[in-house]
Structures are given as structure tokens and as C-alpha cells.
Amino acid sequence: MTLRVLASLTIRLDGQVIQFEPGNVLTVTDAQAQRIMQRAPDKVQVIALPLDSNSLDGPMPPLQPGWLVVYRERTGVLCGGCEDRAHGTVQSCTWDGAAWTVILTDWQRLPLTAIRSVGRTNAVGDVVAAWTVREHGYDGNEGQG
């Protein structure tokens, strides 16, 4: 489930304490979202994901094939991005009805919530835009009117 933060919010997520500011977006499991909404109902709102007009199966993927991502591995080390394309290039994004899974070209499967930043690439693989997901969302359009 994807939530937009309406007021400053500090939560513990996956063993880490994270501070969110108004306008930030976070994607969590349904159970995590329910706990957050119960504890801070006036600080978050559910975001309805846009539906993919080409598919009856679910929402549009937030990340596109060929885009680059930076994520934290289990030990906390940052991986992927421009410096590590072999481990940070998006193959696909799949929706299971509750959460997104990012599949990389090295066949790693990551929860969308593991992604920290994104680089959009053009047809030849040059990075044409880059952003952090906390401030700008997964598709880079968060906060644009």
C-alpha cells in the first residue's frame, strides 16, 4: 500500500527509525499501513495507484525496464546505480495485489520499499534524470501538480 505523509512522522520500519516530512511517499505492506493509519490517522493518507490502461491486471509499474536503482542490501551497504549497473538495472516490476517486487537484470528480487533512489535512462542507457524516492516518489513525479 502506498501512503502520502501529511504531517511530520517518525516510524520504525524494518528495524530502522525513519523520519518522513509532509509530501513524502512510502510504500509498505497492508499490515504496516494499517498500523501506521491506526497510530497516526491524521498524518497519512492512502494513495490510489494509477491503473495501467494496457492491462486489466493492476496498477502501472512505478519503475520501468532499463531504469537504474540504488538499494540497501541486508548488510546496509548501498548497491546499484550508475556505478553498479550489473546489480541495479530494472528488468521489470511485478504487482502481487498487495506490494511491488522489483526484478533486476541480475535476477535479484527486491521489495519496492528497498529502493532508495532511481535514475531514468534514455534508449541508449544514458541517465536523463535521477531522484531520491523519499522526496520525489518512485516515478519522480511526486509533488508535481
Q: What is the pLDDT of residue 135?
A: 85
Q: What is the pLDDT of residue 145?
A: 42
pLDDT-flagged residues of the chain (< 50): 51-56, 145
Q: What is the pLDDT of residue 27?
A: 77
Q: What is the pLDDT of residue 142?
A: 63
Backbone angles phi, psi at 75, to 5 degrees: -85, -5
Q: What is the pLDDT of residue 33?
A: 84
Strand ranges (E), the chain? 2-5, 9-13, 16-20, 25-27, 44-46, 68-72, 78-80, 90-95, 100-104, 109-111, 115-121, 127-132
This model's pTM is above 0.75: no
